[in-house]
Amino acid sequence: MLLTRILTTVKELEEYAELYRLKSGVSVSLSYLQSSHVRVFYRSFSPHTWIGGYVQNGKGDLRYFQAFSAERKSELLAQIGVNAADILETGCTFIDRLAPTERHQIYIVMILEAYFSHKPVLLGGAVIRKIQDYQMQTMPHLLFEESMVFGGKVVQMKQYYAFRNEFLARSLRLLVQECKWVLKNVLQKKMKRYFGGQGTSAHPSVR
């Protein structure tokens, strides 16, 4: 089981910004991290090796909108139908290659924190296609998709959102589906090991 904690010191936040830049190629400002909720995950035997993390900000300082003019920001907010202060933004996410149970632990914590923020709208975004496809299963409303300069890099950005109860329902449904898939694969491997080497018989007691 993974351990998790919130980063609070300037040194830790600077380390997170550098780690995220190395993994994504996109930079994030220290001032944004200082005004946000930054959570990391690690194993008990290696507390200084962060293997997953994300940033949540519900103060209206939307990082995803920073590249836009005031007019464009107003248009996007009008498209969603809320004020910036009504949005919880989740981003700067990274997850190393982990066992399914570890990966799901990160998702569960992220989902619960987003839901219990009590913000009516949850906003997400990514530049990696695989992450975009996965996140849009829980945040299905496309806000925009375009090439833009973001974090000092030209990226193909995709941003999407969900309403609070919709997000929870979709997230739980997705986790249940993935847990079923994991359980099915575990059982198949166990059955293969159990019946392996037993010849062609359908039952191990039959010779």
pLDDT for 103-121, tens place per residue?
A: 889 999 999 999 999 999 9
- pLDDT for 61-100, tens place per residue? 899 898 889 999 999 999 999 999 999 999 999 999 998 8
Reduced to 3 states (helix: H, G, I; strand: E, B; else coil), residue 136 is coil
Count of CB atoms situated within 10 Å of the CB of 41 = 22
Measure the CA–CA gap between 141 and 162, rounded to whole angstroms: 6
Among 5, 36, 30, CA closest to 15: 30
Sequence-ordered list of residues with C-beta below 8 angstroms from that of 169, at least 6 positions apart, any chain: none
Measure the CA–CA gap between 17 and 80, rounded to whole angstroms: 29
Is residue 138 a contact partner of residue 169, using CB atoms and an 8 Å limit?
A: no
Q: What is the pTM of this model?
A: 0.84
The token pair at 95 is 């997850």
Reduced to 3 states (helix: H, G, I; strand: E, B; else coil), residue 29 is coil
- pLDDT for 11-21, tens place per residue? 999 999 999 99
Is residue 59 a contact partner of residue 160, using CB atoms and an 8 Å limit?
A: no
CA contacts within 13 A on the Cβ side of 133: 3
pLDDT at position 197 is 52
